Structure formats: structure tokens, C-alpha cells
A = this chain, B = another copy of it.
């Protein structure tokens, strides 16, 4: 039997990637990236620093350009490769990134009337214009629908679906009135490729709906019209035009249209899987399974776990979401995360620019930080420069650095910042386990896991657990490709698909026991600061923190 291939489309914040993968062994035979044409590296900004939009024309052009390029690359590099060996397509995107569409499902931004109106474009995940509306939604739900909040960590975010729609209703009523309904980017791309954009034919994924739009089969899907109507009458009216049922990624939304086959060079009719978010399909591409925590480490982290749907599962406080089928079909998908990880290191390097041009790069700081012993700097930091997603669910927390003397150096601070993100990671692991979700292994993926062995080693030393790294450098696109292969029928179940197509790197970072002992002490101090600044309940005294750090420092320097 000749080889079969599957294609993953990965829509990021600044660019889109196509990955072509051999279904038999996960071998990645071609990849192509295209940076979006509109705005500032693909992001349309405004005078309001909270505004961040994308233009849907970029989504269409990006699919065409990258699929063509990837197919050409595969032809060049794989003997006998033919495009009709591609059997399916999967799609992942950022989110929540909703677009207003008309009654035909066409994005309003593609209508000349709204071509330059940011409100008619895709409201990118990191658009925070709806802060006030998010607070309003949280307050109303807490009052009349507390169960809505229990599955999303207790707080509805400004990054999410209804906050954005409500903000549009309030601030751009012309656009809101012209919108027949709103569609998540993760749903709109598969619909575009399969000609199923029409709102009555649209398939929505449970990943976006469940994590960002309070969708849950237990209460009949999306929030009810009465609840939405109390926020805004037109939001209540929109409820009837939202789809009744959301699907997991094991469903096909349809076959690739003739038009898109012609535009890309792929065979017409091949199935396109239901779309999902990048982190969720990244977890699939990293081989997520019960007991495995997949950490997708980039500018921020997503920390993903799955629990079999039949198994009892508590509402874990502080998680970003607990959604059945959002990662793997038949499993609850649990999403946690840290609001900033790589972004904190980037802040230190790019904004503070410490140590002059030669000694201030990530590479130089990492090399110098690696020569330090745990505790020897006397420093302790909180990883809250962009707030705290899990477990405090509070975007309005900020960073903290403690223990500076007159001799504190940039590598010492850099290491303290890495350690702070490791302490944050441990806090998430502990939270999972406190609520009965046992973490038996940790699999890391993403740029930092790939490129910075010090970060991985410190995560192992701080958590006291081995750190594994996903084999693929493109786990999100690989997860999408797996979804495409599955809906094409290449595998009887997801476990077989992951077994065949995912893997780990041989290098495993194992904790150094002596270092772990020091970090146990430092974590206790971190936790004091975490609780003192992060929770209203804590009442205590921090008088010992600085002295304890000096004691640990003296011992480390002995």
C-alpha cells in the first residue's frame, strides 16, 4: 500500500502554517508558513491598546499560499509524492477569535461596506476591548447562572466570545446589526474549505463553544436566551441563530470544495475535520492521554489534561475550562495555563535590555544563569507580569521581584524569572492533583521546550518530575493533521492515530534531587507571596521571607 498523507492547517496570531504528515509514522514531509498581509504582522491595531483584530481575507489567502507551497515541497522532497495521497485536512486556530458574518456566512469584513471597519473583522483572542462586558457577564452569571461559571474557572474573560459580541453591540451597533450571527475562526475555516458557511449548515466545534462560549450539553448548549437577553436584547435574539449542537474533532464538517481543490491543488472531496484551538490540537499532537499533562510553552503556556468521560470529575477551581470532547473525543478536556512565560523572559531581554548588547541576549543570559546554584542569588519572583490565569484567574495581578542586593546581576534575575514560571507550573500541577486528577507524566512542547534546556531542567528540578519533550516541533499542526487523518478513516480510534503519529524526543530532563530539595524550600516561600498578594483570604506575616532567602543563599554559596 502506498503512503498516505494528511494535512494540518495551523492558524496563529501572526501567520498560518501548513504541515503535511505521513499517516503511518508521523513523519513531517513538508511545511510552509505565510505571514498575514494585513496590519502589524497580521494584527490590526487601534488607538485603544486593547484592540487586536485580524482580517479574514488573510485566512483565505493563507490557506491557498501555504497548501500550494507545502505540496510543492513534498513533491520535491518525497519520491513519488502525489497530492491525491492527501486523504484529509484538520484545522486549528487561535481563540476565542469570533467573526461577524452575514446570512450567507460571509464575514462582514469581506463586504465592501465594512472593508476598513475593525469591528467587522475577526476579534483576535488577545483583543481586550470587552473588559467591562466580561465583568458584566461574570456578575450576571454569578447572580443567576452560577453553574455557567463553574466550568470556566469562576470568571468569564474579556478574551471570550460573548464579551466581544456584547462590546460590538455597545460600540459598533451598525456592524452588530449587520451581523446575522458570529462564528469562531476555528469553525469558519473548515466551513470555508467545505462550503458549509451558511449559518444553518455550519458545524461548530465543542472546543471553542465549550471553553469560550459557556456551551455545555448538560444545560442544552449555549447559555439560554433569557440570560443573554438580560445582557442585551439583541444578544438574547442571537441565541436562536447559534447552532444547537457542538461537535468534537472526530467529526468531518464536509468535503473540500471543487473551488478550494482548484485553488490549492488538493483532491476535491477529502474530509475536513471539525476545527479546534491550537493548544488543544497541540495536546493531541503531543500524545495526550489520561495521566499526561501536556504543557505548550510559548509566550504563555497552556496546560492540558484529559479525563475519561465516564470517570467522576470535580469542578477544579481556577481552571480555564472543563469541556467534554474539547481535546479528545470521549474525554473531558481540562485547560489550565500561565498568562506569561516566554513573554516574561522576552520582557527582560527586550524591554530592560540588561547587561549591554553582548551579555543581554537570551543565549548569553541562559548560559550564565545555568552556572548558578539553586538559591544562590537570594532572589524570588512572581510570574505575574501578565496576570495569573491558573489558579488565581486574575489578569490584574502584576510581577514581583524580591531579594535584590547591591550586587544582583542580570543572569541571577533571568534565572529567578525562569524559576518563577516553574513555581507557577508546579502550582498548576498541584491544583490538578488536589482535585483528583493525577499527573503521571509531563510532556512539554513549543519553542521554549525545544530550544532552552535550562528551562526544562529547572522545571524538572522545581517540580521533582521528569520533563519529556514532544518529538514534533509543530505539535499544533500535527494534531490538526491527525484530526484530518481520523476523519478520513485512517485509524479506528484516536489512541491508534496518536500511537502511530506522535512521539517523544529521546532526551528526558530528570530532576536533580539536591536541587529539588532547595526548590522545595523556595517554593514554600513562593507560595507565601502567591497567597499574600493573590488571595483575599490570606492573613499572615512575610517578615521571614527575606531572611529565609538569605539563609538559603548562604548555604548555596558554601
Residues of A within 8 A of B (CB): 340, 343-344, 346-347, 351-357, 360, 378, 384-386, 396-410, 413, 532-536, 538-543, 545-547, 549-550
Closest 9 CB pairs of A and B: A399-B404, A398-B403, A400-B402, A347-B406, A536-B543, A532-B542, A352-B354, A398-B546, A401-B401
The reply to whether A351 and B408 form a contact with Cβ atoms under 8 Å apart is yes
Q: Which residues of chain B are within 8 angstroms of A409 by Cβ–Cβ distance?
A: 351-352
The reply to whether A533 and B550 form a contact with Cβ atoms under 8 Å apart is no
The reply to whether A385 and B406 form a contact with Cβ atoms under 8 Å apart is yes
The reply to whether A399 and B402 form a contact with Cβ atoms under 8 Å apart is yes
From residue A536, how far is it (CB to closest CB) to chain B in Å? Answer: 5
11 more A-B residue pairs beyond the given contacts A347-B404, A384-B546, A396-B550, with a C-beta to C-beta distance below 8 A: A351-B408, A352-B352, A352-B354, A352-B413, A386-B405, A396-B546, A399-B402, A399-B404, A399-B405, A401-B402, A542-B542
| Residue of B with least CB distance to A384 | B546
The reply to whether A353 and B351 form a contact with Cβ atoms under 8 Å apart is no
Quick one: given A353-B354, A535-B543, A542-B532, are A402 and B406 in contact (CB under 8 Å)? no
Q: Which residues of chain B are within 8 angstroms of A407 by Cβ–Cβ distance?
A: 347, 351
Q: Which residues of chain B are within 8 angstroms of A540 by Cβ–Cβ distance?
A: 539, 541
| Residue of B with least CB distance to A538 | B541
The reply to whether A401 and B400 form a contact with Cβ atoms under 8 Å apart is yes
The reply to whether B398 and A385 form a contact with Cβ atoms under 8 Å apart is no
Q: Which residues of chain B are within 8 angstroms of A346 by Cβ–Cβ distance?
A: 406
From residue A298, how far is it (CB to closest CB) to chain B in Å? Answer: 14
Q: Which residues of chain B are within 8 angstroms of A545 by Cβ–Cβ distance?
A: 533
Partner of A406, one of B344, B403, B406, B543: B344
From residue A474, how far is it (CB to closest CB) to chain B in Å? Answer: 26
Q: In whole angstroms, what is the CA distance A128 to B533 when docked?
A: 35
The reply to whether B549 and A543 form a contact with Cβ atoms under 8 Å apart is no
| Residue of B with least CB distance to A413 | B352
Quick one: given A352-B354, A408-B347, are A398 and B533 in contact (CB under 8 Å)? no
Partner of A401, one of B354, B397, B404, B535: B404
Q: Which residues of chain B are within 8 angstroms of A400 by Cβ–Cβ distance?
A: 400-404
From residue A320, how far is it (CB to closest CB) to chain B in Å? Answer: 19
Q: In whole angstroms, what is the CA distance A547 to B396 when docked?
A: 7
Q: Which residues of chain B are within 8 angstroms of A397 by Cβ–Cβ distance?
A: 546
Chain A at the B interface: mostly helix, strand, loop or mixed? mixed
Q: Which residues of chain B are within 8 angstroms of A354 by Cβ–Cβ distance?
A: 352-354
Q: In whole angstroms, what is the CA distance A409 to B352 when docked?
A: 6
Q: Which residues of chain B are within 8 angstroms of A399 by Cβ–Cβ distance?
A: 401-405, 408
Partner of A410, one of B353, B355, B378, B408: B353
From residue A60, how far is it (CB to closest CB) to chain B in Å? Answer: 32
Q: Which residues of chain B are within 8 angstroms of A406 by Cβ–Cβ distance?
A: 340, 343-344, 346-347, 351, 385-386
Q: Which residues of chain B are within 8 angstroms of A385 by Cβ–Cβ distance?
A: 404-406, 408
From residue A167, how far is it (CB to closest CB) to chain B in Å? Answer: 18
| Residue of B with least CB distance to A553 | B398
A-B pairs with beta carbons under 8 Å apart, 5 shown:
A352-B354, A385-B405, A399-B401, A538-B543, A540-B541
From residue A445, how far is it (CB to closest CB) to chain B in Å? Answer: 22
Q: In whole angstroms, what is the CA distance A546 to B405 when docked?
A: 23
Partner of A378, one of B378, B384, B398, B547: B398
Q: Which residues of chain B are within 8 angstroms of A353 by Cβ–Cβ distance?
A: 354-356, 360, 410
Q: Which residues of chain B are within 8 angstroms of A535 by Cβ–Cβ distance?
A: 543
Centre residue among A398, A401, A547 by max chain B CB count within 10 A: A398
| Residue of B with least CB distance to A387 | B405
| Residue of B with least CB distance to A347 | B406
Q: Which residues of chain B are within 8 angstroms of A550 by Cβ–Cβ distance?
A: 396, 398
| Residue of B with least CB distance to A535 | B543
The reply to whether B534 and A543 form a contact with Cβ atoms under 8 Å apart is yes
The reply to whether A532 and B536 form a contact with Cβ atoms under 8 Å apart is no
Q: Which residues of chain B are within 8 angstroms of A344 by Cβ–Cβ distance?
A: 406
From residue A357, how far is it (CB to closest CB) to chain B in Å? Answer: 6
| Residue of B with least CB distance to A544 | B536
Q: In whole angstroms, what is the CA distance A547 to B395 when docked?
A: 10
From residue A132, how far is it (CB to closest CB) to chain B in Å? Answer: 13
Q: In whole angstroms, what is the CA distance A343 to B404 when docked?
A: 12
From residue A412, how far is it (CB to closest CB) to chain B in Å? Answer: 9
Centre residue among A343, A347, A357 by max chain B CB count within 10 A: A347
Centre residue among A354, A404, A413, A550 by max chain B CB count within 10 A: A404
From residue A314, how far is it (CB to closest CB) to chain B in Å? Answer: 25
| Residue of B with least CB distance to A539 | B541
Q: In whole angstroms, what is the CA distance A346 to B352 when docked?
A: 16
Partner of A402, one of B357, B398, B408, B538: B398
Q: Which residues of chain B are within 8 angstroms of A405 by Cβ–Cβ distance?
A: 347, 385-386, 398-399
The reply to whether B538 and A532 form a contact with Cβ atoms under 8 Å apart is no
Q: In whole angstroms, what is the CA distance A352 to B493 when docked?
A: 54
The reply to whether A536 and B541 form a contact with Cβ atoms under 8 Å apart is yes
